[in-house]
Amino acid sequence: MREERKAQSLMDCLDKVKDPRGRRGRRYRLSALLAILILAALNGQTSLRGMWIWAREHSQILLQSPALWDVIRIPALDTFWRLLRSLDVESLLKAVNEWLVAWSGVERISLDEKVLRGSKREGEAALMVLSALGQRVGMVLEQVEVKGGDKTEAALALLERVPLEGKMVTIDAGLMQRPVIEAVVEKGGPTWGC
């Protein structure tokens, strides 16, 4: 099963994202549109307009890729905007994380909590998030908000989203609770406290 995961390409994983468009509005394959946006983001573009301009400037190279052969030209900016407006973000994150974990061979995942600086608003507590960090790739694989200060519940929700089989899992001391450790062991990941 581990080898099967490694064989998946980004396009294979993006093909699993649920397409929010109606059948009549599907001129371009969803995975191709998402791949174009991801490539633009990896090349430093941080806005949708910037991603679109980057894609148009690099269209000659992009459209030579066998994965994008059904895209005859880079779609209009409005096409991307309408797609992203209705896209299931959770489905996209799950697909990209699945690919990232399979591709990178992440061997160690760290669970850690952070209070986001500058997130405190008048009358509200600062935003706390729980993250699963892939040590090899140095990226956040998944992240959930800690609601009501219940870190254990947030950790269990986070663990549901992250594949752990065969991975070393390090857990912040504040998260070393029996249900969290049991969830890691159930999913096939050995744990270490830190």
Secondary structure (DSSP) of the chain: -HHHHHT--HHHHHTTSPP-S-GGG-SS-HHHHHHHHHHHHHTT--SHHHHHHHHHHTHHHHTTSGGGTT--SPPPHHHHHHHHHH--HHHHHHHHHHHHHHHHT--EEEEEEEEPTT---TTSPPPEEEEEEETTTTEEEEEEE--TT-HHHHHHHHHHHS--TT-EEEE-GGG--HHHHHHHHHTT--EEE-
What pLDDT is recorded for position 77?
93
- Same domain for 17 and 95? yes
At 86-115, the pLDDT tens digits run 998 888 888 887 777 666 565 788 888 888
At 24-62, the pLDDT tens digits run 767 888 888 898 998 899 888 999 999 999 999 998 888
- Same domain for 95 and 115? no
Structural domains in the chain (count):
2
Domain boundary among 101, 122, 145: 101
- Same domain for 12 and 60? yes
- Same domain for 96 and 69? yes
Residue 177 belongs to domain spanning: 106-193
At 115-152, the pLDDT tens digits run 877 667 777 777 888 888 887 777 788 888 888 778 88
Domain boundary among 62, 83, 101: 101
- Same domain for 25 and 93? yes
Flag whether the pTM goes above 0.85.
no
Domain boundary among 77, 101, 125: 101
- Same domain for 118 and 92? no
- Same domain for 96 and 116? no
